[in-house]
Chain A
Amino acid sequence: MTPARTNATPSVAPTHHLLISPAALLFRLRAIIVLVLLTAAFAIASPAFLTGSNLTILVKHVAINAILAVGMTFVILSGGIDLSVGSIAGLAGIVAGGLIHSGLVLRSIGVVVYFHTWLVILIAILVGAVVGVINGALIAYLRVAPFIATLGTLYVARGSALLISNGATFPNLAGKRDLGNTGFLWLGSGSVVGLPVAIWLMLLFAGAGIFLAERTPFGRRVYSVGGNERAAELSGVRVSRIKLAVYVISGVCSAAVGLIIAAQLASAHPATGETFELNAIAAVVLGGTSLMGGRGSVANTIIGAFVIGVLADGLILLGVSQFWQIVIKGLVIVLAVILDQLQQRYSRRTAAAMRHSL
């Protein structure tokens, strides 16, 4: 802290401070490096891996988890957690399936109403949003811990799905032309420019998520709420609204997943989406997003979802037992978090060093 430096006007130091060592760069890009290495390893080990048909199946599987994980990323960035995503997917699927299969039965006036397919989709998405609003309101306004609030809605939404279908499956969701509700299955089996609709939807959700997180005031506020709620509040961020919004986003993502799965299977099961929340959280964590909130990114979550997908698919192709697959998935997640801790320790140290150098 020499006088000369204090008096100098340029306050942003030259860029050489910004250059990070190659090791640090490798560390930061570890998720994508792991993905590339995994892909390469499986491609060598199994000739079936890098075929078009296998990759399409793989990405279709990844799409389901990735869309859930996009919503989950917003929730986790805000410092919360959403355990209800799988149940919301199940509920949204059942609502859509029920509306297409047996319509809305208004017993009091003895009428059965069938909705147009688009309206069915909209209603199912709305159901997801409403559960999100309930989650958000419990957490932001009634101050229930996110873990507890969404654990509650996990059960309530799942129970509701079972109640609606009476525990049964709504089969044959192709719809009837005279009822105007055909076309639902396109979501699951259709394709645009050679790519399945589910993959396009994943790209849509991922793109929108990345933009929302990185390029809008809303996204920045999510980060600030997760990073330091009090500072955010004092900076004029309406913390409660932000919290409400992230759970709505998560609910909408979950409902979309429920629709895709119902369309793919051409039927709606009330048990759809069980334990999906754990896969979504795993993808977020593998992508390096901190469960403490405030740190991470949607793009990395997508990479995380791909790591999980590639791992599962590759291990199946190699004929690894399903039980081992589960063990390996667990190990990979823990390893990823250990690496994350190491990186944070490293960056804290460099930050401290910088503080000394200024």
Chain B
Amino acid sequence: MTGDIVLQARGVSMQYPGTLALDKVTFSLRRGAVTALIGENGAGKSTLVKILAGIAQPTTGALFLDGAEVHFLSVREADAHGIGIIHQELNLCPNLSIAENIFLGREISSRGVLDKGEQERQTRMLLERLEHPIPPQTPVGELPLGHQQIVEIAKALSRDVRVLMMDEPTSALSASEIDVLFRVIRDLRSRGVAIVYISHRLDELLQIADSVSVLRDGRMVAEADAAGVDVRWIVEQMTGRTAGMQEKSQETTAGPEVMTVDSVSLTANNGRRLLRDVSVGLRAGEVLGVYGLMGAGRTELLECIMGLHPEMTGSILLDSKRLDAMDTARRIACGLAMVPEDRQVSGLVQSLSVLANITMSSLKKWSRGPWLSPAEERGAGLRMTGELRIKTPGLNANVGSLSGGNQQKVVIAKCLLTQPRVLLLDEPTRGVDVGAKREIHTIVRRMAASGMAIVLVSSELEEIRAVSDRILVMSRGAVSAEFRAGEATEDALALAASTTVEGRPEQV
């Protein structure tokens, strides 16, 4: 496992106005080894990776490549030295094809003319290596999030990298896609590539990592061989306190049925069936977990409930009132609320303040006549930041200045202020640090205890099992199994998620 050091950051510090993001960190990457870089949001992981990739320049300290000091002034320079990075946020042009995205900026051309055929041939090879034979001409915008992530990975692989940094590469991937990624990582490792792997999914980290480095508050607090550590140790190092996964505090008794989803089906423009005859009832005070792989139709189900797909068939009833003809605004008024999967794209308005984001769905409540009442609006904001422990420099701060977990809490606060009867949560803890995750779980349980009905969509088995009262598994647009909380083992859930209901052939 241990080889010579390819790239090393020696004593790097990063001073941002007002904060020290990194404090004399030394971090070494070895040839043919996977180093997991771990830390809560804001611990400095992204900053460190940015320095290694040439995106940011350290205030003090230096980088050494093969033992010689180097200065990367741009990503291009780092790239030229074979240092690649897969960002947490996807950096793809949705209007361009897969092949065009992969070769963006380094197009293959002969005598100034673009060689599309060659680009597509190489792209096809890359995608086959990733076990996702998608046609290279497909526009990236038409791909589901998980496949876009695959394209991002293919893009990094297309360069001859010696060092590859992956920031949350699996956040949008299903279990089987993660397996593929891990095979690719192992393959790269055997070819001598040094890999930095950042993830919040700790169990997953331990499967792939050779060594573990933990950052806390900008300092490197622990480094160890992955073989000798477990999740509990990592969490302790990250948070500086002992902790375990939060278990449900009490079994709640579910109340009467508040929402009924009755044989809902949805077909995509290309004829693919996204939802097939989904029926489910939801009771007041229960948390219904919905598990499934990427593309199982979980997000689409929530979107249908919220009225984003008027072309769906079947019906949705809230308090035995049909919602079918209502637009999203009216459904929210009727007591629905949704925390969407991607908070940057669908949850937050980045140009607005923390307060404006929190009150966005309930503005009428903080108005006197036609005017907004600043005092009442502020009062509501203070109440929510207190109740959900949203850490913010102030209510008027830009929402972008908050950490991922706190941004997510802002989205949740926005939903809660509408006092929904039914709350839909789509991957509410994705890209959120362990502390905030636990807090979000507590909030979910508390809301359920107060009588709210909650649907929790998650790709994390552990989370689904810890928070739900009842678990629904979806596979290829249909409900493939249902479990009571106590009965659902990880194996059973994973199995149900990968079975095809009714054995119908799937059109793709």
Contact = CB atoms under 8 A, between A and B. Distances in A.
Contacts of A358: 42, 391-393, 401-403, 406
Contact of A294 (B241, B345, B351, B390): B351
B333 A231 contact: no
B42 A231 contact: no
Interface stretch (A7-15, A59-67, A157-165): A7-15
B352 A224 contact: yes
Interface in B65-114: none
Nearest to B395: A12
Interface string B30-60: 0000000000111110010000000000000
A2 B238 CA distance: 10
A320 B127 CA distance: 64
A234 B396 CA distance: 22
A15 B216 contact: no
A5 B391 CA distance: 10
Interface in A342-358: 347-358
A236 interface: yes
A6 to B, nearest CB: 6
Contacts of A356: 16, 19, 21, 42, 44, 47, 218
B401 A351 contact: yes
B299 interface: no
Contacts, number: 166
Contact of B400 (A236, A290, A351): A351
Contacts of B382: 12
B397 A354 contact: yes
A294 B328 CA distance: 21
Interface residues of B, number: 67
Interface stretch (B256-264, B282-290, B356-364, B469-477): B356-364
Given A1-B42, A2-B240, A18-B393, A355 B349 contact: no
The majority secondary structure among interface residues of chain A is helix
Interface stretch (A40-48, A167-175, A214-222, A264-272): A214-222
B327 A238 contact: yes
A354 B352 contact: no
Interface in B332-347: 332-333, 338, 340, 345-347
B217 interface: yes
A221 B363 contact: yes
A1 B217 contact: yes
A230 B340 CA distance: 10
Given A1-B217, A223-B349, A235 B360 contact: yes
A357 B391 CA distance: 11
B346 A231 contact: yes
Contact of A352 (B16, B218, B306, B393): B16
Contact of A228 (B44, B350, B435): B350
Contact of B40 (A1, A17, A226, A354): A1
A3 B241 contact: yes
Nearest to A218: B370
B394 A12 contact: yes
Contacts of A231: 340, 345-349, 360
23 contacts: A1-B40, A5-B391, A12-B385, A18-B396, A215-B372, A216-B370, A217-B363, A217-B367, A223-B351, A231-B348, A231-B349, A232-B349, A235-B332, A235-B414, A238-B327, A348-B400, A352-B16, A354-B393, A355-B401, A356-B42, A358-B392, A358-B393, A358-B401
